[in-house]
Structure 1
Amino acid sequence: MMKKTRREFIKLAALSGAGIAAAPLAAEASAPIAANEEAVGMLYDATLCVGCKACVASCKNVNDMDAAPAPNDADRLWDAPEDLDYRTRNIIKLYKDGEGDFSYVKYQCMHCIKPSCVSACPVGAMQQEKGRGIVFYDKDICIGCRYCQVACPFNIPKFEWPKAFPKIVKCDLCKFTNLKDKGIPACCDVCPTKAVIFGKRDFLLAEAKKRIAENPDKYQKEIYGEFEVGGTNVIYIAGETFDNLGFRELEHDSNAAFSENIQHTIYKGFVAPVALYGFLAFVALKNRKNHHGHGHGHDAKHEDKHGSEK
């Protein structure tokens, strides 16, 4: 889709104005999705993570992000984020089952093969790099609509509410920082146990399957991200069920097929806004499926139930 500046977008909206009739919006079936052979991502092995949070600290340092003290530690100097927000691109959380078993889990952008956030963005501020498939954001194009937040099935993009000129914040695999300078995302660069590794998706997927095959009693059979929402470039293996780790049970089809159809009708013809709101409501309700105990957006409640690292 051609990029638009804020001014161009507002001008087009004003010119289209009244008199444009709402057009019927039909959801088109998504074609089978295949990752580009050059696509890169990360493999996170929850069984290797020791919860040191070096990845969180390094990410903040490399990307020059503010500290996020815990709510009760507002006057303290150290960084203690409890969840993803405009100051935190990746986070380590703790799952406990009440019987002594526990597992750490890392959350960040999943870098979907067919990202709904990119498809939903009306001006091209949210983009996907050709070839490597990295999903990133251009603040100079963004109009602040936050449709990317609604469209994301993992509830990842965050908005800088306290800032006078806010932007969307999410992991971009250190595309403009560590990946550019060192060839590896900061979190993967510093992990002492190699719980998170960087590479081409094909290699990471093969490595995940190899580990599961060699240690079937150690891992769940599922590789999270292999098929969810059409597949993601960030994938997970774990010894605990992904349901317990706070991951949604998602369909294998990407929501991007729906948003692209809306994109091609609304933003080219600017039909009545009610059609857009209807689509956003549909996606929002779809993303709230399995609200209790599923999804990155509900991790705080999930941790309170099973125990937290405080």
Structure 2
Amino acid sequence: MSRRKFLAASMAGSAAATLSLTSGAFGAALLEGYPDGMGVLVDMTRCIGCRSCEAACNKEQQLPAPEMAFDDPAAFDYSYHAGQKRRTTEAAYTVVNRYEIQGEEQPVYRKIQCNHCNEPACLTSCFVNAYTKTKEGAVMFNDKVCVGCRTCMVACPFNIPAYSYSSAFNPVVKKCVFCHETRLKNGLPPACVEICPQEALTFGNRRDLIKIAHQRINDNPGRYVDHLYGEKELGGTSWMYLSSVPFEQLAFDTTLGREPIISNVKGFLGAVPMVLAIWPALFTGFHLLATKNKHGEGHQADHPIQEDDKQ
């Protein structure tokens, strides 16, 4: 086979792979969630920042011991980057952050974990189908097929998926799994919900939780902001929040709108599988051209591959 034909075949194969990957990535862009899916209502007016939920998650998912003990209040002052609050990592699927709000006598605590979106951007952006949405509401991740492209990290509007940089041989994405395998699929609440001493976390059918949340807002005028975060944001999420202060003061993104995020990033994410497919072919072409020039064959248009080229 000639170099030119070999290169053409490589590019053609990559183009075909690109079309296949791109179509597969967005084939299920509109999942519409599951009407009978479960969820959790987080009432931040009840949270006292005890971090029991962090400890329960750590034990349930058999995660490494934290850098700071779960009863160490100094953890609230710790940040991975200057000026930023703690975020979820490969070793912590949920974290609680403290916010000092001007005019409020007590700090407000916010629990952060995967929100298990009804129409997950991580799922629809993954071109190897490493994500699935279960009927119970959990967004699950299969590390056996993950290729480490981290497209899901770019797509997630809540900045949740964390990358396992600690492993050079198995660098995969880590995040909250809603305790699906050990609890959720058996009708049991997640470990973090079960342990909460203040009943700040309420587990149940998502539709019922929405009713409970609005009932609390109506029955307690002045206690809550008149909004249930996660009810409609980006098509809705399984984890929803009630707050006594404006959500933007607790680092919630209040500009997301109701349309699933995937509708706004399809063009960008579509280029990711294309790059991954074409890049090897481009390097192959560069290598062949360099070899061709090295052997002084640049003047020949279609020269057969020599034995020394095959070695």
**TM-score, normalised by the number of residues in structure 2:** 0.71
Contact 2:96 2:112 in 1 (8 A): yes
Give 1:193's aligned residue.
198
Contact 1:45 1:236 in 2 (8 A): yes
Give 1:96's aligned residue.
100
> CA shift at 1:15, angstroms?
6.8
Give 1:179's aligned residue.
184
Distance 1:45 1:66 in 2: 28
Give 1:126's aligned residue.
131
Closer/same/farther in 2, CA of residues 211 and 141 from structure 1, 3 Å limit:
same
Paired residues, number = 250
Distance 1:178 1:242 in 2: 30
Letter of the structure 2 residue corresponding to residue 106 of structure 1 = K
Closer/same/farther in 2, CA of residues 172 and 19 from structure 1, 3 Å limit:
closer
Distance 1:215 1:245 in 2: 21
1:22-37 pair list within 5 angstroms: 34-37=32-35
1:233 and 2:258 aligned: no
1:256 and 2:253 aligned: no
Could you report, residue by residue, the CA deviation over 1:128-154 in whole angstroms, capped at 9, with x for unpaired residues? 11x223101111111111111000000
Closer/same/farther in 2, CA of residues 48 and 143 from structure 1, 3 Å limit:
same
Distance 1:229 1:246 in 2: 17
Could you report, residue by residue, the CA deviation over 1:136-176 in whole angstroms, capped at 9, with x for unpaired residues? 11111111111110000000000111113122111111012
Could you report, residue by residue, the CA deviation over 1:83-123 in whole angstroms, capped at 9, with x for unpaired residues? 31110011111110245342111111111110000000111
Contact 2:231 2:240 in 1 (8 A): yes
Distance 1:95 1:117 in 2: 28
Distance 1:275 1:213 in 2: 56
Among candidates 152, 167, 171, match of residue 156 of structure 2: 152
> CA shift at 1:20, angstroms?
9.0
Closer/same/farther in 2, CA of residues 79 and 69 from structure 1, 3 Å limit:
farther
Distance 2:151 2:166 in 1: 19
Could you report, residue by residue, the CA deviation over 1:198-233 in whole angstroms, capped at 9, with x for unpaired residues? 111101111100000000210000110111111111
Contact 2:225 2:245 in 1 (8 A): yes
Distance 1:157 1:19 in 2: 30
Contact 1:118 1:127 in 2 (8 A): yes
Q: In structure 1, list runs of 5 or more residues that go unmatched.
A: 1-12, 277-310
1:41 and 2:73 aligned: no
Q: In structure 2, list runs of 5 or more residues that go unmatched.
A: 1-9, 79-85, 280-311
Distance 1:275 1:116 in 2: 24
Distance 2:205 2:94 in 1: 20
Identity of aligned residues (%): 31
**TM-score, normalised by the number of residues in structure 1:** 0.71
User: In terms of Rg, which structure is larger?
Assistant: 2
Closer/same/farther in 2, CA of residues 192 and 101 from structure 1, 3 Å limit:
closer
Distance 2:217 2:125 in 1: 35
Contact 2:40 2:204 in 1 (8 A): yes
Closer/same/farther in 2, CA of residues 126 and 19 from structure 1, 3 Å limit:
closer
